[in-house]
Amino acid sequence: MKLRLYIYSALLLLITAGISSCKKDNYEAPKSTLSGRVVFQGQPVGVRSNGVQLQIWQHGYAFFTPITVYVDQTGRFSALLFDGDYKVTRVAGAPWLAQTDSVSVKVSGDTQVDVPVSPYSIVSNATYQRSGTTITANITVQKLQTTSQIEAVRLYLFRTTLVDQNNSDATINVDGVTVTSGQAFTTNVTVPASLTGADAVYVRVGVKTVGINELAYSAPTKIQLK
C-alpha cells in the first residue's frame, strides 16, 4: 500500500511539473523594440562599440533586475521588450557625467527614445586629407565640463569602419596638455605598410578624459587609397 502511494505521489509530481513547464514554454516572447540614441544637444555621441552600457528597468515585478544594453559606435542602442513602462539609466564609466536620474519611456510596439548625456569633452570637428601614405587630420576638441581634464586626443586608423581604441592598425597620441578647447590643431598618421595595398582605410578621433576609461569619438571616416 505504501509503495502504491509513493508511486502515485511521484507520478502526480511529474505531471504537475510537466504542466508547469508547458505553461512556461507557452509564454510569448517580447515583440516590441525599444531603440534610441545617446545624445548631446540633439546629436548622437560616438563611443567604442559594445564598450558603453545603458540599463533598462521595469518596476512592479518580483524579480527587479536591469536589462543591460550596449551602445554601438554611432551612439545607438536597441532592446527587444514587452510593452510597458520602463526607465532607462546611464551606467558609470562612460565618457559623460554620471547621472542618477533616469529617462522614462512607454514601450508600445516599436518605440524610439533619445537619452541625453553630458560629455566631459567632444570632438567638435575632424577633417582629413591624404597625401600618399600620410593622412593629416585637422581636429577641434571642445571641453564641456570645467572640472574635467583632457588626458589625450587620439587619431586611430583601421582597416574597417569598426575603429576605436581596441581596433586600430595605427594610433597617434596627442598629449592633452597641448590641446586648447575650441582651438583647431593638426596631426598626421602614416598608413602602415600592411595596408598600403588596400582600397581604403578608416580614421577616427577620440578624446580621453583623465580618470575615465572610455573615449568620446568622432564618426569614422573612409579614406580612399586607390
Give pLDDT, residue 28. 77
Residues 131 and 214 in one domain: yes
Is 136 domain-assigned?
yes
Domain range spanning residue 218?
121-224
Give pLDDT, residue 166. 96
CATH number at residue 158: 2.60.40.2060
Residues 112 and 159 in one domain: no
Angle at 71 between CA 69 and CA 74, to 5 degrees: 155
Residues 89 and 138 in one domain: no
> Distance between alpha carbon 136 and the CA centroid of its chain, in Å?
27
Residues 103 and 131 in one domain: no
CATH number at residue 96: 2.60.40.1120
Give pLDDT, residue 29. 85
Residues 154 and 97 in one domain: no
Q: Would you state the cell numbers that stand for residue 94, as one nine-digit string?
A: 562612460
Residues 137 and 220 in one domain: yes
Give pLDDT, residue 73. 95
Give pLDDT, residue 165. 96
Is 17 domain-assigned?
no
Is 26 domain-assigned?
no
Those residues of the chain that have pLDDT short of 70 are: 1-27, 60-63
Is 7 domain-assigned?
no
Domains identified in the chain, total number: 2
Is 22 domain-assigned?
no
Residues 130 and 92 in one domain: no
Is 144 domain-assigned?
yes
Give pLDDT, residue 61. 64
Residues 109 and 125 in one domain: no
Residues 107 and 147 in one domain: no
Q: Express each pLDDT in 199-222 by its tens digit.
A: 999 999 999 999 999 999 999 999
Is 6 domain-assigned?
no
Is 105 domain-assigned?
yes
Residues 171 and 213 in one domain: yes
Give pLDDT, residue 62. 59
